[in-house]
Structures are given as C-alpha cells and as structure tokens.
Structure 1
Amino acid sequence: MAGLEKIKSQILNEANVTADAKIEEAKVQAEKMKLAAQEEGTRQAEAILKKSEAEITSYKERVKSSIDLQRRTRFLEAKQGMIAEILEKAYEKVTNLEPDEYYKLLLSVLEKHVLPQEGEIYFSVKDLENMPVGFGKEIEQTAQAKGGKLTVAGAGRDNIENGFILAYGGIEENCTIRAMFDAKRDELSDIVHRLLFV
C-alpha cells in the first residue's frame, strides 16, 4: 500500500508541478495579452485622438473659410450697392441738367446715333414741351450732316421719360437717358469702382 500511496503522491506532485507550470505559463501569456491589449488600446486611442484633431482642424478651416466668404460677399454687395447708388445719382444729375445743357447733351447723343436714312425722332411729352426754339432745326441739320433726314414727331410719347427714340422704317432705337446708362452700366461701374476702391 505504501508503494501505491507513494505513486499516488508522486503523480499528485507531478500534476501539481505541471499545473503550477501551466498556471505560470498562463499568467505569463495573460500578462503578454494584457500588455498587447494595453498597447493596442493606446495605439487606437492615439489614432482616434489624431483623427479628432485633424477633424477639428479641418472644421476650423471650413468655418474660417465660410466666414471669409461671407465677409467678402457682404463687402462686394456693399460695393455694388454704393456703385449703383452713385450711378443712380449721376443719372438723376443728367436728367436734371439746366435746359441748355440738357438739350446739348441730347444733340450729342443724336450725333452718335443718327443714320443716313429718313426717319422720325420721338421725345417725351415733357421734353417736347420744353424744347428750345430752333432745336428742331438743329436736329434736321445734324441728320443732314450724316446724310439723313429726321422729322420731329408732333406728339410726345408717354413711354419716354427723357431722351428720345429714333424710328427708321419701323425699327426703333432707344436713345433715352436710362437706355444710355443701362447700355454703359458695366463700363460706368468699372470707372466708379476704380475711382472709389483702387
């Protein structure tokens, strides 16, 4: 019996030694896994942090860009508003010129637009009523100088605010002051822009 107990005791001792060795090995493995998991966790945390920092930086840049764009847009709108206001004041100044200056202006516009054809010239009711004596003759002479003939229409047109309309064979050319300003709006805007902002 004593031999059996001894064998049993030896088997138990060997089992304990093996178990202790396996437990130690398992502890070492667990520690390695724990360290690896901590390293992986740290690495992932750093990656998430870097990604978050990059996203924050990108967001800040987008916000700054958006603010800059809004500021530039508002500044441009303000500039355009100022230019439009100045052009409108210039238009009003031209339309409110003294009669002598106003009709000289109309004559210079006519010189640029009269054709070497026979036609009619229409004025607003107001301009027709205030027309200086002899202005009709100046219109005829201006047309003749270009090889044409113009007749001043006897009745003023309600749809003309100022300036005139030339009519040649059913084709009309709008030479009102507003039409002249509108046709030159881009050019005039550029001039005002250069005077104010450059």
Structure 2
Amino acid sequence: MTGLDKIISQILEDAGKEAQEISEKAKSEVQYILEDAKEGCKKIAAENDVKLAEEATSYMERIKSSAELKKRQSVLLAKQQVITEMLNQAYDTLLGKEGEEYFTLIEKMLNKFVLPKEGEIYFSKKDLDRMPQGFEAVIEKAASSKGGSLVLVKEPKNIDGGFILVYGGVEENCSFKALLAARRDELSDKVHAMLFS
C-alpha cells in the first residue's frame, strides 16, 4: 500500500467515524425533538381539555340559568293569570248583585266617593231601570252628609255598574270597572298574598 492509499484510507476511515458520530448525534437530536414534540402535544391536549371543560361548564350554567328564568317567567305568568281571573270574578260578582244588595253596595260607595260640592250623578240604563223608589233620597242624604248635593241625571251612561259623579264638569268614574282598574295593583298584591304566601 502506497502512502497515497494510506492517506486516502485514513481519510475514509476518519470520514466514516465522523459520519457515524453525526448519524448518532442526529438520531439523539431526533429522539429529543420527538420527545419534546410529544410533551408539547400533551400540554396542548391538556390545555384544550381544560378549555373544553370550562366552556362546557359555562354552557351548562347558561342553560341552567335560562331554564330557571323560563321557569320563573312561567310561574309569574300563571300567577298573573290566576290574579286576573280572581279580579274578573270579583267584577262579575259585583255586576251579579241584584236589587237591595246591589243598591246597598251603591249606597256604601256613595258615602265613600261623594264630595262636599254640588254635582250630578249618572248611572247605567240597567241601574236607572231597576233603581228602587226613594233611592234619590239616599243619594241626596249621602251628598248632604258630606256638605254637598247631587242631582240624579236620568240620562244613562255607558257603564256596566257603579256610577259617575260630575262636579263642575269634571267626571269621577266610580264604575266597578274603573275602580277595579284603579286599584288593580293593590288588589293584585292582596290576591297574591292570599293565594301564594
């Protein structure tokens, strides 16, 4: 073997060793990169699991909150319907009163609502037709007890029950419908307390 062959052989041997070292180093780095990538994937997966769990919890809380709101709204609507029905029944009961019972109620209302002024009182056609004899004296007595006077006007007003007072051109609607409407909130609270407390 000549000197040149020895040098070439040495170079090839050194190159082979170096290639072997580079290959082993590359394999080691590839292994490190793969393990690092696996760890990164595990970390990302764990973060996604946490994020998905948080989103699922948040979504469930929103659904629960929405369901509770709908339940409260349904209960409130049902209560309002019951209250409205009770008030309608009260209105129908007032309208259903007959004869003496009805006009005794009207007398109580007069004592409550007349003013110490001169005025007029109007009734519905039905009430004018069924008004007992002498009821004009009851009206005048109620008005004079407050220091005023009332004239019964024979012209009917378009109301179901109760009456309308007119003082100096200003009407005070004392019909059952108007009185119930004016006190609806207060009566609703009372009915609510009776039924749902």
* Worse overlay, 31-40 or 181-190: 181-190
Q: Secondary structure at the match of 1:116?
A: coil
State the partner residue of 1:74.
74
* Worse overlay, 68-77 or 169-178: 68-77
Aligned equivalents of 1:180 and 1:10: distance in 2? Answer: 119
State the partner residue of 2:174.
175
State the partner residue of 2:90.
90
Q: For the Cα contact (< 8 Å) 2:162–2:174, is it kept in 1?
A: yes
Q: Deviations over 1:18-68 (max 9, x none)?
A: 111111111111111100000000100111111111111111111121112
Q: Deviations over 1:57-80 (max 9, x none)?
A: 111111121112111111111111
Aligned equivalents of 1:17 and 1:109: distance in 2? Answer: 119
TM-score if structure 2 supplies the norm length?
0.96
State the partner residue of 1:189.
188
Q: Deviations over 1:106-135 (max 9, x none)?
A: 121122221111110000010011111111
State the partner residue of 2:58.
58
Q: Deviations over 1:127-181 (max 9, x none)?
A: 0111111111111111111111100002212x22111110111110000011111
Q: For the Cα contact (< 8 Å) 2:95–2:160, is it kept in 1?
A: no
Aligned equivalents of 2:171 and 2:86: distance in 1? Answer: 29
Q: For the Cα contact (< 8 Å) 2:121–2:152, is it kept in 1?
A: yes
State the partner residue of 1:45.
45
Aligned equivalents of 1:94 and 1:104: distance in 2? Answer: 12
State the partner residue of 2:163.
164
Aligned equivalents of 1:73 and 1:160: distance in 2? Answer: 35
Q: For the Cα contact (< 8 Å) 2:95–2:161, is it kept in 1?
A: yes
Q: Secondary structure at the match of 1:167?
A: strand
Q: Read off the aligned partner of 2:184 and give its amino acid letter.
A: R
State the partner residue of 2:138.
138
Aligned equivalents of 2:81 and 2:108: distance in 1? Answer: 30
Aligned residues: 197
Q: Secondary structure at the match of 2:58?
A: helix
Structure 2: gaps spanning 5 or more residues: none
Aligned equivalents of 1:13 and 1:110: distance in 2? Answer: 127
Q: Secondary structure at the match of 2:164?
A: strand
Task: Give the 5 Å matches for 1:114-129.
Answer: 114-129=114-129
TM-score if structure 1 supplies the norm length?
0.96
Q: Percent identity?
A: 47
Aligned equivalents of 1:31 and 1:140: distance in 2? Answer: 111
The Cα shift of 1:98 comes to: 2.7
